[in-house]
Amino acid sequence: MTRPLKLAIIGGGPSAFYVASRLLSLFPQSYSDSLRIHIFDRLWAPHGLVRYGVAPDHPEVKNCTHKFDSAASDSRLKFFGNVNVTSNGIHGSLPLDSLKKNYTHLVFATGCTEPNIHPNFSRRDGIISALSVVHWYTRHPSNPPPPPLRSTTDISIIGMGNVSLDVTRMLLSPTSVLDKFDVPSHVLDLLRASQVKHVSVIGRRGPAEAAFTTKELREMMNLPDVAMRPLEPSLLDVKAPTRQQSRTLDLLKKGSKASFGSTPKTWSLDFYRSPIGVTSQSPSSHSLTLGHTTVDPLTKRAVPELDSEGAQITCTIPTSLIVSAMGFHADPSSTAPYAQWYDLDQKHIKTLPGGRVSATNLDSEEPKVYASGWAANGAKGVLASTMMDAYSVAQAILEDWTQFTHSLPAPPFSPSASASAAALSSSPWDAPPQEIVQALSSSKKKVLVTTYEDWLAVDAEEVRRASAEGKERERMDWKEAKSFLEGRSSICS
């Protein structure tokens, strides 16, 4: 009898759903009853970075959720939210060993959840991560404190990627522009009360090396009632630029749609500057010291700009708040379920082609382990590259399963054939681990683990609550969603 493919995916973001949807579509139709996919997410809602990382004024980026909804409608796929998988099952979490006993294949799609902090900074007053700001305006379940916008006039953002421009745009956009989007009401209230007048986006290299996209830059240039501080023309003199660089340089040369000096709010791109240190006079008053840099023509790396005596040239600027936007890395903590496979240098899981985790896919070893998306490659790329990576992982899983079953010579798998399979200890064979079964059945009216059906109900309710005000949606936090789902369960029963 053909062995089933029973896959557990840890993480419920886009990479997880792309792996699942691809595998569902690739799996031989005549063997469809041999496939089960269970997605486990520590957050109560699915979609990960799409729900909690995409800027609210970019609704088109979230269109991929239609594909995820379609995959979740397949009876072979189940989602279990509010489930934290750890190496030892502490504090009520699901132990990794439980997954190993219940599944033939395992995918880590856990993303990069930790912000990178500049080595010259520490976590102190006046310095927050861009991730904290993003999670504030997307109502992430971690519930970070709101930025102190009522006492902040000038913000310095360290880093020149798309996240930096997302945060800048959200902080400077008129609320009349934002209030139709997926922005929680309490976020809009604080933005209306904000005292922010200027945002500096600081990068250690020049315009040719900036990591933000032309699309993000164009949006910043077209913000109503917001102007960009003009750049020195010499900064934009780049030899032999690529087509992409030329587009960026052309936008920078034209400058913002609103002229500088005519608007209540401004922003700037401060190239060739690298943080050295910060001195705090008060919680809302800091002196940020920046070292001047230049780009090494051979390595393209930023190097100190030196004066005639060989010392780095520096400057100091006043600022109310410093936001670190230097990217993200996977969680290396000892409680992380993949700690033994973590690459300390690259700060993500070590993988071989097809997302196979090193030394875990031997013929005699189960479950076979893979990693996909940012968990495997680091925090880089866009949704399209995440999708293609996930597709390659799905292909590798299918190839490994096909090889194990010797090119599918046997009849399709039937549930009765699973009784002797040590790796599938659940009864029935396609059930989730007993910890999940018990949590789901503990009480009809007490929601501990969420399903995709729960999410669809919350999704519809969030949209309904906002429709009267012409908004995209009004987000719930976990407390509200839990109360809503338990009330709905009570009515249904």
Residue 366 labeled ligand binder: no
Residue 142 labeled ligand binder: no
Cis peptide before 367 (omega within 30 of 0): yes
Residue 139 labeled ligand binder: no
Contact 36, 424 (CB under 8 A): no
> Which of 233, 225, 231, 223 minimizes the C-alpha distance to 261?
225
* DSSP strand pairing (105-108 vs 5-10): parallel
Residue 42 labeled ligand binder: no
Residue 443 labeled ligand binder: no
Alpha carbons 482 and 228: distance in angstroms, whole number: 44
Q: Which two tokens stand for residue 429?
A: 């064979």
Question: Phi/psi at 452 (nearest 5 deg)?
Answer: -70, -30
- CA dihedral angle for residue 146, residue 149, residue 154, residue 159, rounded to 10 degrees: 20
Start-end of H helices in 357-433? 374-377, 383-404
| Three-class secondary structure of residue 135 per DSSP | helix
* DSSP strand pairing (114-115 vs 302-304): unpaired
Contact 193, 175 (CB under 8 A): no
Residue 205 labeled ligand binder: yes
Alpha carbons 246 and 472: distance in angstroms, whole number: 35
The two most distant CA atoms of the chain are separated, in Å, by: 81
Residue 473 labeled ligand binder: no
Q: How far apart are the first and last CA of the chain?
A: 41
- Output the DSSP codes for 397-415: HHHHHHHHTTSS-SPPP-G
Residue 49 labeled ligand binder: yes
Amino acid at residue number 75: S
- Binding site as annotated, residues for FAD: 15, 49, 85, 374
- Binding site as annotated, residues: 15, 49, 85, 204-205, 216, 374, 381
- Binding site as annotated, residues for NADP(+): 204-205, 216, 381
